[in-house]
Chains A and B, each alone.
Chain A
Amino acid sequence: MTAAVAVGVLVAGGVYLVLQRNLVRVVLGFVLLGHAVNVLVLAAGGMDRRGLPLIGQGDPATAADPLPQAFVLTAIVITFGITVYLLALARAGGADTERDAVEPGDDGVGGGR
């Protein structure tokens, strides 16, 4: 239940930001969406077992599923890599995603005539 609400809140905020014009906002939106997916993946492992997946520490019967944790761990680092890259793009190209926007139909594609 809490996982579902958390995912919902993060997706709502992330989608709102991603649809903005300023590239910094878009990047931050992607960060939030990344969080949402990570929470979802972890929740997919089941939220009823919350023990540490460290052998020899705590009760093995309540240890959390380690596989989603491994997925999420790499996903976080990858998201970080992408965030850095997007920020570099913002740095290289300016923060406005629509300044040089090409109008539909201006590109000479289509028609074939």
Chain B
Amino acid sequence: MIPLVALVAMAVLALAAPLLHRRLGRDTGYLLAAGFAGVGGLLATGAPAVLDGGAVTASWTWLPSLQVSFALRLDGLAGLFCLIVLGVGVLVMAYSARYMGDSNRNGVVYGLLTLFAGAMLGLVLAADVVLLYVFWEMTTVCSFALIGTAGQVAVKPGRRALLITAAGGLALLLAVIMLSVVVGTTDLAIILAEREQVLASPLAWPIGALIATAAFSKSAQLPLHFWLPGAMVAMTPVSAYLHAATMVKAGIYLLMRTTPLFADQPAWSALLITVGLITAVAGAFMALREHDLKAILAQSTVSQLGLLIAVIGVGTPVALAAAMLHTFAHALFKATLFMLVGIIDKETGSRDIRELSGLRRVMPITATVTGLAALSMAGVPPMLGFVSKEYLFQGLLQADFAPWAGPVAGALGVTASALTFAYGMRIFYGAFGGPTRQPDLYEPSPAFLAPAALPALVGLALGPGIDLLNPMVTRAAADVVYVGAVPEFSFWHGLSPEVVMSAITIAVGSLLFLRRDPVDRALQRLRLPDGAALFDRTHDATLALGSAVGRPDRTGILAAHLARPVAALVVLGVVGLATVGELPPRSSTDQPLDWPVLALLGLTVAATVRTRSALAALGLVGSVGLVVAAWFLLAGAVDVALTLLLVEVLTAVVAVLVLRRLPLGLGGAGRPRVTLAAGLGVAAGFAAALATFALTGRRGLSEAGAWFLESAEAETGGTNVVNTILVDFRGMDTLGEAIVLGAAAVGLLVLLRRDDDPRAEDERAAARLRRGQTDGGLVLQVSSRVLIPGMALLSAYLLWRGHDEPGGGFIAALVGGIAVGLYQVAHGFPGLPRLLRPELLVGAGLVVALGTGLGAAAVGDPFLTPFDIPVLGAAGIGSALVFDLGVYLLVLGLLAAAFDRLSTGTPGAGPARPVSAPEEPTAGEPTPEPAGSRPRGAGSVVGTPGGGDAR
């Protein structure tokens, strides 16, 4: 329970931080420091159990279907890292309270820092690998957000940090998945216990490589190290906390945790030791050539992390214990140094050692504390850093993946440490040595200095007082050492090889420092590959590639968007033709009447394509529709033919309404476009024809069709099988389709608002008068009085009989729509009667159709199951008919919307298009333009030769 309470407390603190900041300003840091200390105290109540070799656990079911649980476990290793996270957290928060200003932005920084601390705690406490991964990524995101608070300068560094560490996170995710597949559980303890099973599986080495990759990316190892120095654009508390003491140690933690799996594998040792030591030496070199104090510290962190990874790679009990001790020591001295550099920066306005000088006279206490921390980093007795480095050397000498590994590793460790000594002195001397240039400076306030000074003093005390740390570190090491006993540390353990190595380190380091000018010149001449620049170039190139790939899609030219899918279909057809194998025999299905219909089809399509008059094109497309309807009739689809017939009539009416406001010419097209369009059209036509020929007419009646023909009447009582499919069997599909129509109606209503301006109406009336034409004409008005009631009756009859005979909701609504259209045309588009308002029809249709479906649910059947209606059932009215009525209303709603808005509405949004001149011909009186003449209105550029193709 304790670990969960700790995490919840951190989450609460993180949420509360920005709110507290509004009231308390920067002093929020003190409150958060107290909160961190409280959480630490809470976890410490588990310490006795942990030190006894036990663990404090808590587990909740999280994703039961994946057997992933929200399991937490506080053991020795987790406890050590919790101490670092919360301990450094307390110091950094207290430091921030004096470092930060009161700016509102800092409330967010406090919140993110606390959230990060919680994520880091979760990461080390997680007892489930999936949970561990989630917290791992949370720390990455927090780090990115915190770097981002630095503003514009942080864009590139933040991106590098995010992409590198998130890529590592993905590697970890892969490893987690593989591990859970191999072992069959996501429980971390079980996975670690099933060592043999993991090693025996073929995935063993991918898993190891992925875990190492994840750790290398998070802990900034070569060649992925460059994100860490870049991350130093973040403010100092962030650098001290995330990018020195804790987050970059997540990789270290992961490697320690998984050590039991791979520790005795030479390849694992070789990988970790090689990468770690190369990074250690290279990082130290890079640190020695920097002039910015913060940059020196950043490169130093890279180097120290390398040492840690190398020594984890050795994997012996001494090596692992040394790694843990040094992790602790490093957190102490590196956090101190960062915070002190922040103080120097604030006080002097610079971090460049070429500008700083002689601060020891004006800031003696700061100088002393910095000196202590630098000595600890350099591994000079009696600091804690000395003890941990001694054991690091001892561990490195035990490297045994090859006979020469131990001595070489030791030598490289000494090299890195000598360089560390040199840049440690460089930091101290650079800032505090030499003549005093800024004599007016003074010590920072005690409140500002104390959080930075405390860890340096602790580092001083714990060197000789190493016995205080022994129980915790040996207990932590015991968690991951699977064979052998963990040694106790001692401050002085006789004249051993590592003491000699320490002496060499200090001697060489001193030499490098004393000869600093020639060393500096030599190092400045070195041309090192710039990983960050390479990364940025790759990143930009990737984006450029994406932009190039997407460019054709970012054109506003419609034809360009449509041509490629069509071409792709043609290619698909060709590929299909080439790869299709033996096809079943085709039954001859042609009938003599098919051919004249086909000939008509060819003629009408050709004419449609050729014409340049919009009205002619409309009429011709209508003719195509009629021919297709005839073809449907020949195919035995009477309902379909009927529907198409009515749709063609309505399409013509609607299109004419639209064309009243558009140029009547369609314009020509340039030769390139004609050639391209014709070529693609013919190719697509061929592909489609071949596909149709190849894939149809090669089997008998489908099973579903046979079943419907056989059981429709018995199941539904209807004899029109097509209609029963629509309203009974597949009512859900029909409902969806009817709703699409309703949506189109709503779209129309939104797109074109009603033109209620009385002046416009007057103008139109005046224009009609000028043409000697009253609304719609007398004949039309009189005949509509007779026709409309008849059509309404017919419509109702078609709806009613649809279940048994050709008809149904769609067809009936189309007939009703024609009646509405007739009314509109005859009466000069006066607006619809209240009952036929499109929004009302669509709404009513939805209510009726959905209500029928829900009625079934009320009876206890699944949604839309047909059911008997108590009273109406006697009159032959079932739920299917009511449902069809809903469909009817939705379709009628669309038609009403079309007539209402297309006849009078004006565009509701966007720049107003010039309203067409009053003398423009209306539907009833077309005066087609001569083909090829310059069209009027908006389409004035239509017909420019080569129009869009030339671009």
Which A residues fall within an 8 A CB radius of B? 1-28, 31-32, 35-36, 38-40, 42-57, 60, 63-70, 72-74, 76-85, 87-105, 107, 109-113
Contact = CB atoms under 8 A, between A and B. Distances in A.
Contacts of A10: 601, 605, 624, 628, 685
A15 B566 contact: yes
Nearest to A8: B689
A60 B706 CA distance: 10
A113 B687 CA distance: 44
A76 to B, nearest CB: 5
Contact of B681 (A15, A26, A84): A15
B476 interface: no
B948 to A, nearest CB: 5
A21 B948 contact: yes
B601 A1 contact: no
Interface in B613-629: 614, 617-618, 621, 624-625, 628
B643 A96 contact: no
A24 B656 CA distance: 11
Given A4-B693, A11-B685, A19-B563, A25 B910 contact: no
A11 B747 contact: no
Given A63-B721, A77-B647, A95-B939, 16 more contacts: A4-B689, A12-B681, A19-B680, A21-B559, A22-B667, A25-B617, A55-B719, A66-B708, A77-B737, A78-B737, A81-B741, A94-B938, A96-B939, A98-B558, A109-B550, A111-B543
B663 A49 contact: no
A12 B684 contact: yes
B540 A113 contact: yes
24 contacts: A1-B588, A1-B590, A4-B692, A12-B682, A13-B608, A15-B685, A16-B677, A18-B566, A19-B563, A32-B621, A40-B692, A45-B705, A54-B804, A56-B719, A65-B702, A70-B722, A76-B643, A78-B741, A79-B647, A82-B744, A88-B898, A96-B938, A99-B939, A109-B554
A89 to B, nearest CB: 7
A85 B941 contact: no
Nearest to A105: B551
Contacts of B913: 93-94
Contact of A101 (B555, B601, B654): B555
A109 B549 CA distance: 12
Nearest to B550: A110
A72 B615 CA distance: 27
B811 to A, nearest CB: 8
A103 B937 CA distance: 23
A96 B941 contact: yes
B685 A21 contact: no
List the 9 closest pairs (A to B, CB-CB), nearest first.
A110-B547, A8-B689, A12-B685, A65-B705, A94-B938, A101-B556, A16-B681, A64-B636, A4-B693
B579 interface: no
A35 B682 CA distance: 17
A46 B650 CA distance: 29
Interface stretch (B726-734, B827-835, B925-933): B726-734
B947 interface: yes
B557 A77 contact: no
Contacts of A4: 689-690, 692-693, 696
A53 B682 contact: no
Contacts of A50: 591, 634-636
A8 B685 contact: yes
Interface of B: 539-540, 543-544, 546-547, 550-552, 554-559, 562-563, 566, 587-591, 594-595, 597-598, 601-602, 605-606, 608-609, 614, 617-618, 621, 624-625, 628, 631-632, 634-640, 643-644, 647, 650-651, 654-655, 658-659, 661-663, 666-667, 669, 673, 676-678, 680-682, 684-690, 692-693, 695-697, 699-702, 704-705, 708-709, 712-713, 719-722, 725-726, 730, 733-734, 737, 740-741, 744-745, 747-748, 751-752, 804-806, 810, 814, 891, 894, 898, 901-902, 905, 907-910, 913, 937-939, 941-942, 947-948, 951
A32 B752 CA distance: 26
A59 B669 CA distance: 52
Nearest to B546: A110
A23 to B, nearest CB: 8
B744 to A, nearest CB: 4
Contact of A49 (B636, B747, B804): B636
B602 A28 contact: no
Given A11-B684, A74-B733, A96-B938, A66 B719 contact: no
A106 to B, nearest CB: 8
B643 A2 contact: no
A104 B552 contact: yes
Given A10-B601, A44-B695, A91 B669 contact: no
A36 B688 contact: yes
A73 to B, nearest CB: 5
Summarize A's interface: helix, strand, loop or mixed.
helix
B544 A111 contact: yes
Given A3-B697, A55-B719, A91-B902, A9 B748 contact: no
B748 A84 contact: yes
Given A24-B614, A49-B636, A66-B708, A9 B605 contact: yes
B643 A77 contact: yes
Nearest to A63: B709
B681 A19 contact: yes
Nearest to A25: B666
A104 B751 CA distance: 27
A49 B701 contact: yes
A103 B608 contact: no
A42 B629 CA distance: 12
A47 B725 contact: no
B543 A88 contact: no
A43 B689 CA distance: 12
A83 B894 CA distance: 11
B643 A73 contact: yes
A67 B748 contact: no
B696 A47 contact: yes
Contacts of B643: 73, 76-77
B617 A74 contact: no
Contacts of A102: 554-556
Nearest to A107: B554
Contact of B709 (A18, A40, A53): A53
Identify which of A22, A89, A112 gathers the most chain B CB atoms within 10 Å of its CB.
A22
Given A40-B692, A70-B722, A84-B898, A21 B942 contact: yes
Contacts of B659: 24
B384 to A, nearest CB: 46
Contact of B640 (A23, A46, A60, A69): A69
Most chain-A CB neighbours within 10 Å: which of B598, B636, B708, B942?
B636
Contacts of A99: 938-939, 941
B574 to A, nearest CB: 15
Contacts of B737: 74, 77-78
B939 A94 contact: yes
B692 A3 contact: yes
Given A8-B686, A42-B632, A20 B673 contact: yes
B367 to A, nearest CB: 44
A66 B628 contact: no
A73 B722 contact: yes
A80 B587 contact: no
A4 B597 CA distance: 13
Given A1-B693, A15-B566, A52 B907 contact: no
A81 B810 CA distance: 12
